Structure formats: structure tokens, C-alpha cells
Chain A
Amino acid sequence: MEFTRRGALAVGAGVAATLMLPVRGAMAAADDMIAEFTGGASVGDSGITLTTPEIAENGNTVPIEVDAPGAVSILVLASGNPTPDVATFNFGPLAGAQRASTRIRLAGTQDVVAVAKMADGSFVQARNTVKVTIGGCGG
């Protein structure tokens, strides 16, 4: 129950009013990046699978995987991070699968977003909430 750095990160979840502004700023930044990636096109929600833990075991290294068969490019964003941009994976025509996994750092509870550009120019998106918690006190 002692307060730790991991706990401090959880502040980003919106506990303290003073810290709400940067989080909102990051969300707006993420929206801007999605708009830039899609060029404002409408975004569907099927054909893309984003796998994340519900609760991060360690907010400093959170395993994620995104799978979007037929994608040419996948943008991954941590919408609540000061810098939301995580990665953009590009797949050439010889790629056997349009799937990527990595580990990312999360500054508190937030949505991780993946947007895939498909070969036909359409876009699909998946969004998962990953909780970063102080921990302890489990049953």
C-alpha cells in the first residue's frame, strides 16, 4: 500500500484535477494523429484485433499485439501518454502476416488505440483500456 512511482503514474487516470489538462491534451493529440493517418476518412471496427492486458502487470513494459489481416500499415497510439505516438508498422506485399507485437510504456490508465490502413484504402480501428494500478490488497 505504499505510494510508489507506479502509483504516481495512476494519477494520469484523472484523479487530480491539476493533472487532467495534460491528459486531455494527449487525447486531443491522439485524435489529431488518427485524423492525420486516415486523412479524415471514416473508420470501421472489424478486421482488426488488438490484444492487451486488462490491467498492466508493469506500466513500464506492457505487452501489446495487433493483428489486421490485409493491412498495409498500422498506427499504434497510447492515447494518455504525453507523447501518444507509439509506432507505425508498415507491411510490404511479401509480408506473410499483418501482425506486430511490442512492449510499450503507459503513463497511467488509458486507452491504447490501433488504426489499420487496409490495401483498399479503408481504415479500421480497435481500442482497449489498459489499467495501471498501485496494486496490493488482492484477496
Chain B
Amino acid sequence: MISRRDFLQTAVAASAIYGASGVGNWARLAAQQALTQDQLLEFDTFGNVTLIHVTDIHGQLKPIWFREPEINLGVGAVTGKPPHVTGEDFLKMFDIKPGTPEAYALTYVDFVSLAKGYGKVGGLDRVATVINAIRGDRPDALLLDGGDTWHGSYTCLKTQAQDMVNVMNALKPDAMTSHWEFTLGIDRVNEIVDDLPFPFLGANIFDAEWDEPAYEPYQMFERGGAQIAVIGQAFPYMPIANPGWMFPGLSFGVREERMNEVVQEVRDAGADLVVVLSHNGFDVDRKLAAQVPGIDVILTGHTHDALPEPVLVGDTMLIASGSNGKFVTRLDLDVRDGRMMGFRHKLIPIFSDVIEPDADMSALIEAERAPYKAEMEEVLGTTDSLLYRRGNFNGTWDDLICNALIDEREADIALSPGFRWGPSLLPGAPITREDVFNATSMSYPNAYRSEMTGETLKIILEDVADNLFNPDPYYQQGGDMVRVGGMGYDIDVSKAQGSRITNMTLLKTGEAIDPAKTYVVSGWASVNEGTEGPPIWDVVESYIKRQGTVHVDPNKSVKVTGA
């Protein structure tokens, strides 16, 4: 008899043969120069249950450009394993031809010229079309949102996320989990959650004082005659990576034991299928899947990875659905007798010029944007460089932000956080105020200017590097490396904390950073309460206006080894 695990692996292989994973399909269509909406959505409905996964939308209502990372290193046991595969290696691993739509959607290779050919991605009116089409095949499909939804744009900031709440409510999700949501402040979160027409799940969110669950841990759904438990797992390092003072009294954490208990609880309550809707980050989920038995599917989030096939860990399937509205995952499952017997999966890229926008959703999005349209559309300058953020080390958007901080705040060195959100801009594009907010929008934006010793700078770099490159995923926070302007350094990602960073150099003089000497440092998004300074978007806007046309040279000041 074929074991369940064998069956899953067979199904993956079969999906490649039949094109059900989507990969082989797109290439063929591209060769025919005939990529259509029907072909993007083509799917042989399978089994009795359909899950639709979106995650890390970061407030992006409209189509955007989004360049996938060039550098996305894995350490320890996950070196060279998805999602730590980029560019040509990614194309080889998933058998994708260069220059095809999927090469454009999934890698950075030849990004600018492919972007001009294939156009923008995302847009929640296009996402609505895809979701409606899937519901046409399977009316009771479960739509699950992995969080980082109520953050990331001009309108989201100005409306305290009401724009995203209204638009997402119209998509009718069945559940969500969270991360950046809590940077709205606990009162605003609870105000929204009180009126939310679907559950806001987080099995790992606890009241810090009483050590009791603070939000619903899971929701049971009956679909296709099967009981499906959806367990929410919020971002574990909320009070560490983001300002804890904005949601005092809440405690998070991976809480593996808690997950074990909740999985047991839902199995005891009759769940035939256990789905974890997670904002852990991919590597944390990969470890969790190996440690906690009984989970069938983890819908991963946080680390913004887009994978065209599920990753299997034992009997658990990990799904990675990208970010910024660029992808929707459809996962059809055959659930019988308390077991998952098979699946069919497709990562659907939202090519905005191919997928017809849903008219009602377009109208709703425009209504949300209308009050702010004039100020958002104001052109501040032009970029003659590709601006992007995603990648383990400096992206050009952050280089621009660092240049602005050094220039506008008269600093020696600039620090910009290693966020993974923020769309790209093509060379020659105008930079609007909306574009600046897409890269900076947040509730703790103050651009500080302070003095730090060389020793302190080293400690900061070592600390952040360990949050990214600790070989144990449970000690990783899932952000990228802090972006540095005005200073170069070497990093050996294979070393331990305290030994990774060497050769720190002040770029303007070429001198080595002196541990005892004091430097003027400007940065933004400090997690400390009471940080003073102008909001980062004002700093960047002023810089762009003065420059007229911004130019960002390739950053060669970080040398990476040990990967």
C-alpha cells in the first residue's frame, strides 16, 4: 500500500508532468505568446476541499512592480534549499526557462526588461477576479489571509487601515492572522477585530500578565463533508522586532508546546484536516512542521517567499504565496476519513495586464483612494535607477533612503531596517509621494539623529545578523539585514554572533571604524518609545525634490562570505 507520504511526493511529481503546479504550463503559453486569464486560472478541480491563500499584502491595493530577491541566504540545514534559492539556480531547480512569465514572476533575472514586457503585478481587484473564479469552481473554498494586511501604503496609514479592512471584507476571507497589524496600536486592533466578520486568529498571542490566550486560537470549518481546523499563528517576535509599547500586555513567541496542544485539541474535536495559517516565516515553519506532529498544511507567511511547488516536511505541506498581492495560491485537497489523501496546487501570479479587474472591487478601491488621490499622485522626482528593496543586504530603495538620511540629517552613517515589504520602481519612472510611502509607511517613522561609538555599531550589526543567520530558525526574526549607508563591512554568515562582522569602514574617509570613536548616525523605525525626528517620508521627499533625478550606484560596500 502506498503510504501517505509517498502519495504526496508522487502527486508533486505528477503535478509537474500534468502541469497542475502551473510551472510547465506558463512556459508553454509564453512560447505561444498567448498568456490569457483563462490559462492563468486553468485548474482541474480536485478532491473535496479548496484553500485560497493570500499573505503579506502590505496595503497594496493597486498593481505594482515587485522584484524578487537576488540574495536570500539560508544557513545551517537549509543552505541551498527553497526558499534560499534565487535567480538562475531557482530557474534550474523548478525547470523554468529564462524570459518566461514565471521567470519574471519568481526571480530577479532580467527583471527590468521582462517587467516592461509583462507589466505590473497584483492589484486587489485582479485578486478578486481570481478568488471569484476559484469560488466559481468551488463555492465554499476557504480564503485565508496570512496577515501583514493592514499596513504599508499612504491610504492605509491615513485611514488607520480602514481602507484595507473595507477592501478585504469585500473579499470575504474566512480567517486571518497578524503581524504589522499590531503596529496600529492595541486599541485600534481591538476596535477593528470587534467588528471583523471573520476570526482574527493567533494561538500564540497571550496576555502577558495572566499568561492566558488573548485571541481565538483556531476556527473549525465543515467543507466537503470534512472538518477543517484552521489554527492561527501570529508573528512570534512582535514585541522584539516591532515596538512592544504599542501593544503592552501581549506576549507572543513560537510556543511550540502550545501549538502541540492546539493541534491535539482540534484533532480530539474531530478535525480531518489541520491547517496552520502562519506568520512565523518559512524556516521557522519548516522547523515547526518537523517538531509538531499532526499538521497537514502550513500556509507560510512573513518572509515573502513565492514557491511554485509545496515543500514537504514529513507529512506536512508548506505553501509559500509571495507578498504584496503578487500571487494567490489555490490548493485543492482530497480529505477523507480524517486524512489528507492528495492535493493539487497552483501558485497563480497576478499579471495585472492579463487578469481582468473585478469591477465592483475596482470601484471600492478607487473610492478608498479618492480622498487622498491628489496628494498621492504628486510627482516628487524621477529615478534613473531600478529601485527595489527585497534581498538579504542593501536594496537600492534602502540605499536611496540611506543617502537621504546622510544628506538631509548630516550624518556620517545611516541605518535603514531590513524590511521585506515595499514594491519596486523601474528606471526612468517618476517617483510619486505614494511610491515613497509604499517604501516607508509605518506608525513609528521618526528619523533619529544620534551619536554611536564604533563598538555600538558593531554590536548592532552583529545582533541583527544573528536574527537573520542564526542556524536555529527559532532564533531568527525573519527580517533582512539592517541596511547601512556611509559604512562598509564584511560579513561571514557562517560564523557565530560576535564574529560575523569584520572590516567596518567609514566610506567617506576609507578609514577603519574605531570602536572607541563616536559617529553621527541617522536611522528610522526605532522600536524605542519617544524617538524624535521628522518622519522618514519627509526626509526622503525633501531629498528627492532637491535631487530632481535620483541615481543610486550599485552598492559594493558589503562583502558576504560563508554562504
A positions within 8 Å CB-CB of B: 1-4, 7, 10-11, 13-16, 51, 53-58, 63, 109, 129, 131, 133-139
Contact of B480 among A13, A14, A51, A139 (CB under 8 A): A139
Contact between chains at A139 and B479 (CB < 8 Å): yes
Contact present for A136 and B253 (CB under 8 Å): no
| Cβ A2 vs Cβ B448 within 8 A | yes
Query: Contacts A136-B241, A137-B464: A54 and B527 contacting too (C-beta < 8 A)?
Result: no
The reply to whether A16 and B455 contact each other, CB–CB distance below 8 Å, is yes
In the complex, the answer to whether A54 meets B211 with C-beta atoms within 8 Å is no
Known: A1-B526, A133-B466. A138 touches B477 (CB 8 A): yes
**Complex Cα gap A16–B459 (Å):** 8
Q: List B439-478 residues whose CB lies under 8 Å from chain A.
A: 448, 450, 452, 455-456, 458-460, 462-464, 466-467, 470, 472, 474-475, 477-478
B72, CB-defined interface residue at 8 Å: no
Contact of B497 among A2, A4, A14, A53 (CB under 8 A): A14
| B65 interface residue per 8 A CB criterion | no
* Chain B positions within 8 Å of A54 at CB level: 253-254, 472, 474-475
Residues 199-225 of B, flagged 1 when their CB comes within 8 A of A and 0 if not, give 000000000100100000000000000
Return 27 A-B CB contacts under 8 Å, by A number: A1-B526, A2-B450, A2-B526, A3-B452, A3-B460, A7-B456, A7-B463, A14-B498, A57-B244, A63-B251, A133-B466, A134-B460, A134-B463, A135-B237, A136-B242, A136-B417, A136-B525, A136-B527, A137-B479, A138-B235, A138-B242, A138-B478, A139-B179, A139-B281, A139-B418, A139-B478, A139-B480
With both chains docked as a complex, state the minimum distance between the C-beta of B287 and any C-beta of chain A, in angstroms: 11
B60 located at the interface, meaning its Cβ lies under 8 Å from any Cβ of chain A in the complex: no
Q: Is the CB of B479 within 8 A of A57?
A: no
What is the bound-complex CA distance between A21 and B464, given in angstroms?
Answer: 24
Q: Which of A63, A131, A136 has the most CB of B within 10 A?
A: A136
* Closest A residue to B257 using CB positions: A51
Q: Contact at B459–A1, with CB atoms within 8 Å? A: no
Q: How far is the CB of B543 from chain A (nearest CB, A)?
A: 19
Neighbouring B residues of A7 by C-beta, 8 Å: 456, 459-460, 463
Q: Which residues does chain A contribute within 8 Å of B460, judged by CB atoms?
A: 1, 3, 7, 134
| Interface residue tally on B, bucketed by range | 35 or more
Contact (A4, B528) CB under 8 Å given A54-B474, A55-B477, A138-B241: yes
Given A57-B240, A133-B467: A1 in contact with B475 (beta carbons within 8 A): no
Do residues A53 and B253 form an inter-chain contact, with CB atoms below 8 A?
A: yes
The dominant DSSP class at the B interface is loop
A1 touches B523 (CB 8 A): yes
B419 interface residue per 8 A CB criterion: yes
**Shortest Cβ-Cβ A-B pairs, 3 listed:** A138-B241, A139-B479, A135-B240
On chain A, the residues within 8 Å of B302 by CB distance are 139
Query: How many angstroms from the CA of A39 to the CA of B472 in the assembled complex?
Result: 34
Q: Does B415 contact A (CB under 8 A)?
A: yes
Query: B303: CB under 8 A from chain A?
Result: yes
Instruction: Tell me whether A109 and B497 are in contact in the complex, defined as CB-CB below 8 angstroms, given that A55-B475, A133-B466, A138-B478 are known contacts.
Output: yes
Q: What A residues does B239 contact at CB under 8 A?
A: 57-58
Q: Do B456 and A133 touch across chains, with their CB atoms under 8 A apart? A: no
Residue B531 at the A interface, CB < 8 A?
yes
**Contact B528–A2 (Cβ < 8 Å):** yes
Instruction: Give the residues in chain B near A133, CB-CB below 8 Å.
Output: 240, 463, 466-467, 477
Contact B498 A15 (CB under 8 A): yes
Most-contacted residue by chain A among B237, B302, B455, B458 (CB, 10 A): B237
By a CB distance below 8 angstroms, the chain A residues around B418 are 137, 139
Q: State the CA gap A51–B528 with chains docked (Å).
A: 28
Given contacts A136-B527, A139-B302, 5 further A-B contacts (CB under 8 A): A7-B463, A16-B455, A54-B253, A57-B251, A131-B466
Closest to B284 in A: A54
Contact A137 B462 (CB under 8 A): no
In whole angstroms, what is the CA distance A109 to B455 when docked? 18
Interface 0/1 of B235-251, CB less than 8 Å to A: 10101111010000001
Are A1 and B253 touching (Cβ within 8 A)?
no
**0/1 interface trace, chain B 331-363, chain A, CB 8 Å (1 if under):** 000000000000000000000000000000000
Q: How far is the CB of A105 from chain B (nearest CB, A)?
A: 16
Distance of B60 from chain A, by nearest CB (Å)? 16
A contact residues around B230 at 8 Å (CB): none
The answer to whether B253 and A15 touch across the interface, beta carbons within 8 angstroms, is no
Complex Cα distance, B480 from A137, in Å, reads: 8
Given the contacts A2-B526, A3-B459, A15-B497, A139 and B303 also touching, CB distance less than 8 Å: yes
Interface residue ranges of B152-206 to A (CB < 8 Å): 179
Please give the distance in Å from B92's CB to the nearest CB on chain A: 27
Please, which residues of chain B bring their CB within 8 A of the CB of A58?
A: 239, 244
Cβ of B231 under 8 Å from chain A: no
Contact with A along B295-321 (1 / 0, CB 8 A): 000000011100000000000000000
Distance from A130 Cβ to chain B, minimum over Cβ atoms (Å): 10
Specify which chain B residues have a CB less than 8 angstroms from the CB of A109 in the assembled complex. 497
A3–B421 alpha-carbon span in the complex (Å): 24
Inter-chain CA distance A129–B179, complex, in Å, is 25
Binary contact readout B475-499 vs A (1 if CB under 8 angstroms, 0 otherwise) = 1011110100000000000000110
* Complex CA distance for A139 and B234, rounded to whole angstroms: 13
Closest Cβ–Cβ distance, residue A66 to chain B (whole Å): 13
